[in-house]
Amino acid sequence: MSCAAGQAQEVAVSIGFLAPQSGSNQERGISMVNGAQLAIDELNQKNIKVNNVKVNFQLLVQDDRFNANTGRLAAQYLLKRKVQAVICHSSTVCIATADIFQAEHIPQLSVGATNRQFTQLGYDNVFRMFGHSEQGGILFGKYAYRDLKLRRIAVIDDKTPSGAAMASQFSDGFKTAGGTIAGHYSVSDKTSDFNQALMDIKERKADAIFWGGTHLQAANMIVSAKRLGLTTRFLNAMNGMNNQYVLSRVNDVGNILSLESDQPRDRMARWKSFEKAYIENFQGSYIDVSALRAYDAVQVLGEAIKSANSLDPQKLAETLHKERFKGLTGPIEFDREGNLKNPVFTVYESQGAEWKVVEVVKAD
- pLDDT at position 362: 82
Helix (H, G, I), strand (E, B) or coil at 341: coil
**How confident is the model over 255-286, as pLDDT tens digits?**
899 999 999 999 999 999 999 999 999 998 88
- pLDDT at position 253: 62
Please write down the long-range contacts of 37-44, taking CB distance under 8 Å and 24 or more positions apart. Answer: 37/281, 38/274, 38/277, 38/278, 38/281, 38/295, 39/294, 39/295, 39/296, 39/297, 39/298, 39/299, 39/302, 40/15, 40/298, 42/299, 43/298, 43/299, 43/302
Cα 31 from Cα 204, distance rounded (Å)? 38
Domains in the chain and their CATH numbers? Answer: 10-131+267-333 (3.40.50.2300), 133-260+345-362 (3.40.50.2300)
- Dihedral pair phi/psi, residue 124, rounded to 5°: -95, 10
Helices marked H in the chain: 26-45, 68-80, 91-102, 133-146, 161-177, 195-204, 215-227, 244-250, 271-281, 289-308, 313-322
- pLDDT at position 2: 44
pTM tops 0.85, yes or no: yes
Q: Which of 187, 186, 239 is nearest to 216 (CA)?
A: 239
- pLDDT at position 1: 42
Residues in the chain with pLDDT < 70?
A: 1-8, 253, 364
